[in-house]
Chain A
Amino acid sequence: MPSPHPSPLFPDLGFGLGLRREHYQHVVEQRPGPAAVGWFEVISENFMMPGGNPRRVLERVRRDHPVVLHGVSLSIGSTEPLDGRYLDDLAALARDVEPAWVSDHLCWGTAHGTNAHDLLPLPYTETTLAHVAERVQAVQERLGRRILLENPSSYLSFQASELGEAEFLAELARRADCGILLDVNNVFVSAHNQGLDARAYLAAIPPERVGQIHLAGHSADGELLIDTHDAAVCDEVWALFAHAVRRFGVRSTMIEWDAHVPPFEALIAELDRARQVAARAVAEAGRDAA
């Protein structure tokens, strides 16, 4: 499905899935074709080792499909120095895999040499913006490629923040010349948790910077929504996705399902729904433009 507003920065890979351990055997043996799964996203850290089954699976998958590397440990917003060994390992993995792109999250997770293994939120200030932009440029120079940063799901905001998250992300992408991995479920979750307007969030994101879209499920924990990635995409997130497609055009889109992972066929069904929602949104946008 060609996009009426293609991103000049990133190729349109179509509709893909996050590759999870539960499905390694199925994907390697059944080799789903591009009509079912256009590409796979893998968690970089799960493959940053010398060998073994994960690397073997990745090599087999890569022979059949484009792959993107999605990390969780870059800690781009930390005040700790960038982890040189981690960047070396990531660069080596990227050389081996030749991914369509490399991504991580707008967050931090390290302090005083220790790692919380979480995607912790940042205060959105000019100071933070300058700090993160400099680090993104350093990472891109080290990797020799433009990276994408994903908007996080957030459960808090900071007294010190001067900007909204969307404005921060947009300006960061411009200053650092990086891309945006737009997680529509995270926009929905964060907007709910912080009383924001999700559509206003999308309006602040520059279309040309969006290279990829994530779709996922979430859960409720009392008054807050938690980005659990353990359920189907809900109707409200599908509606927000349709709005995103009308605004940005079609982008490489994938289903992210990390916990209580269902059979592979269930993920394909979710992906097919994404195709349908996107096609309908494109048709509606075309009618509105006419």
Chain B
Amino acid sequence: MPPDALARLQSDLFAAITGLAVGDAARAVDHVVGDARASAERRLQVYATMYRLRVIEALESQFPRVAHVLGPDAFGAAALAFVADVPSRHPSLRELGRGFAAWLAREGRDARLPPLARLEWARADVFDLADQPALVVDALRVLPPDRFAELPLRLIDAHRFVDVDAATLDLWRRARDNAGDETSDPPSDPIEASGGALVWRQDVSVHHRGLSALERAALDAVAAGTTFGAICERLAGGRDDEAAATQAFTWLSSWVLDGLLTA
């Protein structure tokens, strides 16, 4: 077998199995032995079927709510169309869906789907990010009151901000409930999301919730690294100091309980 013949064989087979135009798919069958048990076409079909099923399954695991909204047939078709347009170029299937939300936006078939997919991708993305020691309530309890202003605040790495609106969060919740999925989260009505949503991982669980524009601005500052005093000052601009401090403490408490801050 000449050296370049192996490359041609692999290109042809790859084209026949994936439908990607990287080789002569029609020629693939000539490379394959057919016999009484199964023809060459049938044998190639096994690989092609497995490829399609694997792609659909991988994307469904990453975008279960999108899959629920579309239904199995439409989602399967979308999944296959997506990988035909955006073939996988990463050795891990975990990366397969990275461009799916953007692709859905380009496709323009349903305006609800791109933000829903962005939210789902963010949830999948944070799951594998590095662990960090979390700032815990006990650490705050021992902090003297006059030291709170200097308390450094920094978000854990395992977080993502996602630009979605309340309708998307509601769609995610309804799709989860209709699917009978026991995934924890979120919120009770009404949904505040004027500042988008925050997705994060606490221990082994992934969470998300909507943010007010004010809290989003505060969290943007925390993500860049700030202090509790700076958050209070930011809030106090145009408001009385006591109300600002109360709001800041409320946020701080919820951020700590949610495991959002790193020690």
Chain B proximity of A205: nearest CB distance (Å) = 22
Bound complex: CA of A114 vs CA of B17, how far in Å? 12
Chain A residue with the shortest CB-CB distance to B32: A156
Let me know if A10 is at the binding interface, CB within 8 A. Answer: no
Q: Which of A52, A73, A115, A160 is the one whose CB lies under 8 Å from B128? A: A52
Let me know if B89 is at the binding interface, CB within 8 A. Answer: yes
List the A side residues contacting B129 at CB < 8 Å: 49-52
* B23-72 contacts to A (CB < 8 Å): 23, 30-33, 35, 37-38, 40, 42-44, 46-47, 50-51, 54-55, 58
List the B side residues contacting A49 at CB < 8 Å: 94, 128-129
CB-based contact A115/B89 at 8 Å: yes
Chain B proximity of A135: nearest CB distance (Å) = 12
Stretch at the interface among A120-128, A139-147, A166-174, A279-287: A120-128
Question: What is the interface size of chain A, counting residues whose CB is below 8 A from a CB of the partner?
Answer: 49
* A116-140 contacts to B (CB < 8 Å): 116-118, 120, 123, 125-128, 131
List the A side residues contacting B9 at CB < 8 Å: 123, 158, 160
CB-based contact B43/A156 at 8 Å: yes
Bound complex: CA of A153 vs CA of B201, how far in Å? 38
Interface string of B67-95 (1 = CB under 8 A from A): 00000000000000000000111111110
Chain A proximity of B84: nearest CB distance (Å) = 11
Let me know if A159 is at the binding interface, CB within 8 A. Answer: yes
Let me know if B237 is at the binding interface, CB within 8 A. Answer: no
CB-based contact A117/B88 at 8 Å: yes
Given the known interface contacts A112-B22, A128-B1, the answer about A117 and B93 at a Cβ–Cβ threshold of 8 Å is yes
Chain A residue with the shortest CB-CB distance to B21: A112
CB-based contact B31/A160 at 8 Å: yes
Bound complex: CA of A126 vs CA of B40, how far in Å? 23
Stretch at the interface among A33-41, A78-86, A178-186: A78-86
Let me know if B3 is at the binding interface, CB within 8 A. Answer: yes
CB-based contact A116/B30 at 8 Å: no
Let me know if A265 is at the binding interface, CB within 8 A. Answer: no
CB-based contact B130/A51 at 8 Å: yes
Let me know if B224 is at the binding interface, CB within 8 A. Answer: no
Let me know if A224 is at the binding interface, CB within 8 A. Answer: yes
Let me know if A113 is at the binding interface, CB within 8 A. Answer: yes
Chain A proximity of B9: nearest CB distance (Å) = 6
* A71-111 contacts to B (CB < 8 Å): 73, 75, 78-79, 83, 86, 108, 110-111
Residues of B within 8 A of A (CB): 1-3, 5-7, 9-11, 13-14, 17-18, 20, 22-23, 30-33, 35, 37-38, 40, 42-44, 46-47, 50-51, 54-55, 58, 87-94, 96, 127-131, 158, 201, 203-204
Given A46-B94, A131-B3; 13 other pairs, CB 8 A cutoff: A51-B130, A53-B204, A78-B10, A79-B10, A111-B22, A116-B51, A118-B47, A156-B40, A156-B44, A157-B32, A158-B32, A160-B31, A226-B46
